[in-house]
Structure formats: C-alpha cells, structure tokens
Amino acid sequence: MCDESSPRLNAQELGKLAAARLAELRAAGEHLQPVVPSCRKLAAHCWGQAWMRHLARCEAGGLCLAPGRTLLRHGCVLDVRVAPGLITAKVSADELYEVSLRIKPPDDERVENMRQLCCGQIDSLVSLLSGKIDDGVMQQLCHPENGLLPEPADWHMFCTCADWAEPCPHAAAAIYAAGVLIDANPSLLFTLRSVDAESLVAAPILTAQRFDTAALSATFGIEMDV
C-alpha cells in the first residue's frame, strides 16, 4: 500500500535540507529550476489539471505516486527539465538524487488520429494551448489510451537511489513536477510527447476521399481520375 508519509524525514526536515542543498548548488554555479506548485491541487489550468487527473487514474490503478507529491510540496524538486521524450530532475530527500524519465512517443497512427480529430475543430494555437476547444475534442486528446498523455507503460525510469520501486518517490516527484511545468507552459506537453502542436491546428486538407467523384463527373461531363 502506498503511504504518502513514506519519506523518512519529516516535512520540516525535508524542506530545510532541500533549501540548504539548493543554496549550496547555486553557490557552486549550477543553474537550477526548482519547482514550486502554485496551488494546493498542484495545477490551476487546463493541461496541467489534465496531467494531474491522469496521474490520479494511474494511482487508482496501483501506481505508487503519493510520496512524490510529498516531496514536491515540501520544495524537494530542485530542478526539472522537459525535452522531447525526456524528463530529467534533481530531487532532494535523505540524499540528492538524479532522475531520468524517458517517455515513449505516441506512434504515427495515434498522432494521425489526433490530427484527424482536431482537423477544423481548433481555430488557433492559443486556443489549443489554453484549452479553449470543444469539450469532446479535449476529452479525446486527454484520453489515457488514445491521447497525448503518456501511459505508465510508456515510462522508462532511472534514479540514482537504491529503491527498486517503479516509480521510486524521487521519480514520482519528477513526474508531478513536470505537470506543474506543463500547467505554467502547456507547450511543454507537446514537446515532451514529440507532437507538433501547430499540426493539430492546421486547416482541413481536401483529399481524394472527400470528393464525390461520381457527382463531379456527372456535373461537369468529364471522367474524374483520382
């Protein structure tokens, strides 16, 4: 059973140790990007909330993520970077740990299905990133099996800790911290998943399958070669 209090240091000790490590690393010249949640629910906007709901579904399915929330809330995520297919982090607990999460990108069929779903339904990139799109489209884009959000089977985790759990508390903290970054900058979700957001906004493309060739032939008195 997953216990949110599993980090052995208490909240005050975790926070003090993390702050001291952050100051020490910055004094040594490291440029770190600590992650601090902006609200109690960890996310306040559309895509960040979708990420957190997805993690809640994963947790309900048996994935142990609660210790990661504890670490994040106590300021223990000292650095997180999001790149195509990759999340890297430095997480402070009893020691300072390095975390790397490689995330398998969606296959071509899944991406094409998302493009077809969005085709002509989204009027601008701003609308997509702000979540101001049709509810049905949004639900499909956030679908755990067919949308943008990565399934646990897509995650390949590494941490310098000795914990054999997958995810360990430090990897779980990095996953939650990535959601906080996505909440502030939704384009990072598309970066992480290696999906071109602009391609989902593109205007519909007329293809041969969309033409009623028989009707066109009858109307213009010509034979259509498709």
Query: Residue 79: what pLDDT?
Result: 96
pLDDT one-digit tens code per residue, 92-119: 999 999 999 999 999 999 999 998 888 8
Show me where the domains of the chain are located. Answer: 11-107+152-194
Q: Which pLDDT does position 180 carry in this prediction?
A: 95
CB 6 within 8 A of CB 163: no
The span from the CA of 85 to the CA of 105, in Å, is: 6
Share of the chain above pLDDT 70, in %: 86
> For position 5, what pLDDT does the model report?
43
Q: What is the mean pLDDT of residues 23-43?
A: 90
Mean pLDDT of 172-182: 95
For residues 196 and 178, give the distance between their C-alpha atoms in angstroms, rounded to a whole number: 19
2: pLDDT confidence band, cut at 50, 70 and 90? Answer: low
pLDDT at residue number 209? 42
d(C-alpha 84, C-alpha 81), whole Å:
10
